[in-house]
Amino acid sequence: MGLFDLFKKKEKPAAPVSVSVTTELRSSYVEVAQRTRGELPMADVGGYAGPSGGFVNFGRFKVVGVNAGTGRKNTKRYEAKDEEGARAAAAADGLGEPMTVEVEKLEDPTEQQMAYALDLKAVIPAGACKEDVSAIISRITDEDEAAPDPGLSLWAHDCGVRFSRFVGHDALLGYIRVRKWKH
């Protein structure tokens, strides 16, 4: 402290500030449940029925062929509309003849999926696969119960976008956007 500091006017401390805040917390319960009566409407894919079961617009295939680079047998799995599409994908990956193609069944829904779907009061059709139940759950929780426009779902199917026919309108648009940026 210097000599001149002794002669400076001392500032008065600021008056204490008092703040009073009142908050009120309210909560409400909104039941998330299927609003559409019966089964949710499905996307139109022109009568296509997937060879692997379920209500998806693709099949799962196991392809065994000879690797052109090594001359050894390789096994690869593909999702395609039909056996011809699986063969074409295998050939693009370098598998050659002799080539065998086997249709694989889609996975059944898990117990946890089914329990959650039933909690949501979802109507699950007989023969639904894991992808179908997942799509139904998403439609309910995302409030996306409207089916996609038939022209949109047919176009997406023709372009190779893979989806459950239980996909909602908004979800299908999301799949199309993702596919557009992947390729």
Give the contacts of 100 (CB within 8 A, at least 6 positions apart).
Answer: 63, 64, 65
Q: What is the pLDDT along the chain (183 residues), one digit of tens a residue?
A: 565 666 666 666 666 777 777 777 776 555 677 788 888 899 999 999 999 999 999 999 999 999 988 999 999 999 999 999 999 999 999 999 999 999 999 999 999 999 999 999 999 999 999 999 999 999 999 999 899 999 999 999 999 999 999 999 999 999 888 765 554
Tokens (6 digits) for 53: 């079961």
Listed by start position, the domains of the chain span 57-105, 107-183
Q: Where are the alpha helices (DSSP H) in 22-168?
A: 83-92, 111-119, 130-141, 150-158
Tokens (6 digits) for 94: 């370098």
The residue written with tokens 């047998």 in the block is 73
- Cβ atoms of 156 and 56 within 8 Å: the answer is no
- Cβ atoms of 66 and 96 within 8 Å: the answer is yes
Of the candidates 69, 79, 71, 65, which has an alpha carbon nearest to the alpha carbon of residue 162?
A: 79
